[in-house]
Amino acid sequence: MSEDTKSVVFLESIPKTVGIMGIIFCLFLMAGFLFSNEKGFLGDRFQLFSFFKIKQIRVSSEWPISNSEVKAWLPHLEGRSLFALNVSDLVASLEKKTWVEQVVIKKQYPDHLWIELETKRPRALSTVQGIAYFVDEKGNVIEKARPGLLKTLDLPFISFSSTRDRWDVSQIFAMADQFKKLARSKYSISQIILGNYPYFKIFLENPKIEVLLNIENWQSQSKVLETLLLDPPSQIQQLQRINLMFPKKAVVSIHN
């Protein structure tokens, strides 16, 4: 048998499935290449494929941002290809909006886009140059306080001394949350004043009481505060001030 004849026989012996698998492999390779070029030249040209064009956009947002408000912020997306959509740029533009904490955007092929927004949580009011602003968990300004939102939110005022940089504001708000539990809704905090670290004070209302605290021993003094507020000794009259700045010591002032 000649060499040419052997070659023909060898080629004829290759299973047809090998050729089919090669075609499938090439298709997967091409698809991966297209995905990797979503933001580039091929991504732009992929707009021509109608079966991957955006037909529906669903938005999920939290108070005080409405779904319609989010949609008004979006560029025109219907008809654009999911492949070509630059999700990172869209997320960045939405996260610049007031009240927006985090944005998650999901592509659901072939033609759906999901946008979920998490909003910032206002924890208190703070004055900046005489104007009241909502502040978040870290004490960062969200926006100027609007009358409509003020009626909806029951927030304390928080003010800072010259040593603000030393304060972990999120720790103060955690303390305020614990106080709500120990006060059992009998008292609420109307104002928080962060003085020279580690000393601060809170003002309670209904009835009004001033409480001086030390953030370093707040936990150990919380039981004392709970007793004085909810079950004070019979000889103690209406409280005016409770000083808990010193470890294992409470100094009480009463109304005359």
Angle between helices 218-230 and 169-183 (to 10 degrees): 30
Domain boundary among 119, 147, 167: 119
The one-digit pLDDT tens for each residue of the chain (256 residues) are 444 444 444 444 445 555 676 666 556 556 555 544 444 445 455 444 557 899 999 999 999 999 999 999 999 999 999 988 999 999 999 999 999 999 999 999 999 999 999 999 999 999 988 899 999 999 999 999 988 888 888 899 999 877 788 999 999 999 999 999 989 889 999 999 999 999 999 999 988 999 999 999 998 999 999 999 998 887 777 889 999 999 888 999 987 6
Which is nearest to 204 in space by CA: 174, 234, 233, 184? 184
Non-local (6+) Cβ contacts of 124 within 8 A are: 134, 135, 139, 155, 156, 157, 158, 173, 192
Q: What CATH number has the domain bearing residue 212? A: 3.30.160
Cα–Cα distance for residue pair 83/49, rounded to 1 Å: 10
- Residue 146 maps to a domain: no
Report the b/e string of 73-112 with b at 16+ CB within 10 A: beeeeeeebbbbbebeebeeebeeeebbeebebebeeebe
Write down which residue in 72, 90, 119 finishes a domain: 119
Whether residue 21 is found in the same domain as residue 51: no
CATH code at 88? 3.10.20.310
Quick one: 162 and 80 in the same domain?
Answer: no
51 shares its domain with 32: no
Q: Are residues 28 and 76 in the same domain?
A: no
Task: Determine if the pTM surpasses 0.85.
Answer: no
Residue 28 counted as domain residue: yes
Q: Are residues 211 and 172 in the same domain?
A: yes
| Structural domain harbouring 31 | 3-36
Q: Could you tell me if 114 and 177 lie in one domain? A: no
In a domain, residue 15? The reply is yes
Is residue 11 domain-shared with residue 87, that is, in the same domain? no
Residue 132 covered by a domain? no
Amino acid code (one letter) for 39: K
Question: How many domains does the chain fold into?
Answer: 3
Backbone angles phi, psi at 199, to 5 degrees: -95, 140
